[in-house]
A and B are shown apart, each in its own frame.
Chain A
């Protein structure tokens, strides 16, 4: 097994009761989980399943109420360590508008490295490189509010890339995008993982995105309830639906037809059905 990058041991996170009488509750309960270097992990779960809290625990925005979170051996138990962890684990959020701080694209990408105190010439180099990687270089002097949702998210990803973190956590980065924007962002994420070896943790409830993962972790009620390859997870009909999720139609159809292993894409599904029919008629 590859080196462990993020380790969660028996982590519980409790939102405290507030003064207005809202009761406190545990959003994450006794979760033990490792994220390995270089992997593409997808965390699936319906809204309110605790997956966003989990993300915030992974880059030390929250400190666990119980248990430990360590990133490359650094425990997230102090403000100082939090800063160190966030240099290793970057994060992209759901709403593209609420994470862009500057009025010009390239200035925004520079924001992270500037905070880290990187040399100006080096920042320039990293910013240009990051913008080229996400395909936004030609838009570097534009104002963020004039970009599409998918473009804004790619700028946000470039902002993390410029910090040269080893891992990127993306908290439902495509939930507010249209299909075109979603594809732009997902292709970018895949490239980061496959070509640059960056560890990716993608939190989503789009099943098409889960198909691309090395490993799927299913979350419900603040607990990790299943873990496996996309094929293993999608081959259990009913399981995901019971947990407020869904499976791609290709997998649904192959499950309905009783295939042992489900198909993940329409192409795969067609192959399997053709095989079931004993080859096409005109063969």
Chain B
């Protein structure tokens, strides 16, 4: 089976040709496999956004090739167009893309551009709304009358309704309060479980990444600095810190406990798991 996204030696320069060429990303080699959940982390300006804009061909690499399902995405206009629907890209603050009279029409915008039949579009709108937990009565409302969190979900549904092979989300929870954030994360994981789609998401929150991703890509100065499973990447606490990043707070606690000579694992990413281990350990000591 071919990989849904493959980047070969991709570099992108801004202001190409000028004396000061700024490389936004350079020499990226990256494969996103079918069904994976990949988290991308990196501080602002590390090239994350430039990187994901290459996935669906919004940006054309200055050097290198982007393959979607094994096909060069920039081969011709038709391939590019098809790739847009295969790789669903949802930008930061996606609610700023809402424009239609009703929520349903807005969610239907993507599928409509795909040239699907009306009945198929209606079906997809319904399914997408369900994934994001938008109540049926909201669908006939104007998207501008929704609350902040609902707008965000409607916008994500607009991308989900294209039923892409890969759903790419740039900080889907940015600016939301804790409840809103948790809802969005749960919704994305739920979507993945039910559809088996591949998920790529960018986040600033190490806690969120640890809770949702299987594999992590760390961007720094336009290059992939670290890549691997959650355990592998978070075991490099020191180098993450030099890149302006960190490990989740709970992981940090366990790393410090280990340094104090307490025999606990350091790959702990949830409070429940951590508490269970510590309770067990305390009982063992007492007993």
Asked whether, in the complex, the Cβ of A176 is within 8 Å of the Cβ of B249, the reply is no
Q: Which of A180, A246, A266 contacts B244 (CB 8 A)?
A: A180
B175 closest partner in A (C-beta): A175
Which of chain A's residues have a CB closer than 8 A to the CB of B59? Answer: none
> Is A65 located at the chain interface by the 8 A CB criterion?
no
Known: A176-B174, A181-B44, A246-B178. A274 touches B257 (CB 8 A): yes
A169 to B237, CA, bound (A): 36
Q: Mark B43-78, 1 if CB is under 8 A from A, else 0.
A: 110000000000000000000000000000000000
Which of chain B's residues have a CB closer than 8 A to the CB of A29? Answer: none
| B220-258 with Cβ < 8 A to chain A | 244, 248-250, 252-253, 256-257
Which of chain A's residues have a CB closer than 8 A to the CB of B249? Answer: 248-250, 266
Asked whether, in the complex, the Cβ of A46 is within 8 Å of the Cβ of B271, the reply is no
Asked whether, in the complex, the Cβ of A148 is within 8 Å of the Cβ of B179, the reply is no
Residue from A270, A280, A283 whose CB has the most chain B CB atoms within 10 Å: A270
B182 closest partner in A (C-beta): A246
Asked whether, in the complex, the Cβ of A47 is within 8 Å of the Cβ of B275, the reply is no
Total chain B interface residues with beta-carbon distance under 8 A? 36
Asked whether, in the complex, the Cβ of B253 is within 8 Å of the Cβ of A46, the reply is no
A207 to B253, CA, bound (A): 17
Asked whether, in the complex, the Cβ of B253 is within 8 Å of the Cβ of A281, the reply is no
Asked whether, in the complex, the Cβ of B261 is within 8 Å of the Cβ of A249, the reply is no
Minimum distance in angstroms from A271 CB to a CB of chain B: 9
Which of chain B's residues have a CB closer than 8 A to the CB of A250? Answer: 249, 253
Asked whether, in the complex, the Cβ of A179 is within 8 Å of the Cβ of B244, the reply is yes
> Is A282 located at the chain interface by the 8 A CB criterion?
yes
Asked whether, in the complex, the Cβ of B279 is within 8 Å of the Cβ of A281, the reply is no
- Of A75-83, A155-163, A189-197, A251-259, the segment with at least 4 beta carbons within 8 Å of chain B is A251-259
Minimum distance in angstroms from B50 CB to a CB of chain A: 15
A48 closest partner in B (C-beta): B147
| B262-287 with Cβ < 8 A to chain A | 262-263, 271-272, 274-275, 278-279, 281-282, 285
Asked whether, in the complex, the Cβ of A277 is within 8 Å of the Cβ of B282, the reply is yes
A267 to B44, CA, bound (A): 27
Tell me the total A-B contact number using a CB cutoff of 8 A.
Answer: 95
> Is A104 located at the chain interface by the 8 A CB criterion?
no
Asked whether, in the complex, the Cβ of A281 is within 8 Å of the Cβ of B244, the reply is no
> Is B260 located at the chain interface by the 8 A CB criterion?
yes
> Is A205 located at the chain interface by the 8 A CB criterion?
yes
A160 to B272, CA, bound (A): 43
B183 closest partner in A (C-beta): A244
Which of chain B's residues have a CB closer than 8 A to the CB of A244? Answer: 177-180
| A261-283 with Cβ < 8 A to chain B | 266-267, 269-270, 273-274, 276-278, 280-283
Which of chain A's residues have a CB closer than 8 A to the CB of B279? Answer: 257
> Is A178 located at the chain interface by the 8 A CB criterion?
yes
Which of chain B's residues have a CB closer than 8 A to the CB of A46? Answer: 177-180
> Is A186 located at the chain interface by the 8 A CB criterion?
no
A149 to B45, CA, bound (A): 12
Asked whether, in the complex, the Cβ of B262 is within 8 Å of the Cβ of A273, the reply is yes
> Is B112 located at the chain interface by the 8 A CB criterion?
no
Which of chain B's residues have a CB closer than 8 A to the CB of A179? Answer: 43, 204, 244
> Is B207 located at the chain interface by the 8 A CB criterion?
yes
Asked whether, in the complex, the Cβ of A245 is within 8 Å of the Cβ of B179, the reply is yes
B180 closest partner in A (C-beta): A47
Which of chain B's residues have a CB closer than 8 A to the CB of A256? Answer: 271-272, 274-275
Asked whether, in the complex, the Cβ of A253 is within 8 Å of the Cβ of B274, the reply is yes
B205 closest partner in A (C-beta): A179
Minimum distance in angstroms from B131 CB to a CB of chain A: 22
Which of chain A's residues have a CB closer than 8 A to the CB of B257? Answer: 270, 273-274
> Is B196 located at the chain interface by the 8 A CB criterion?
no
Which of chain A's residues have a CB closer than 8 A to the CB of B272? Answer: 256
Which of chain B's residues have a CB closer than 8 A to the CB of A149? Answer: 44
A181 to B174, CA, bound (A): 14
Additional pairs, 4, CB under 8 Å, beyond known A178-B44, A244-B178, A269-B253: A249-B250, A257-B279, A273-B257, A276-B282
What are 8 contact pairs spanning A and B, CB under 8 A? A178-B43, A179-B204, A205-B178, A245-B178, A257-B275, A273-B278, A280-B261, A283-B261
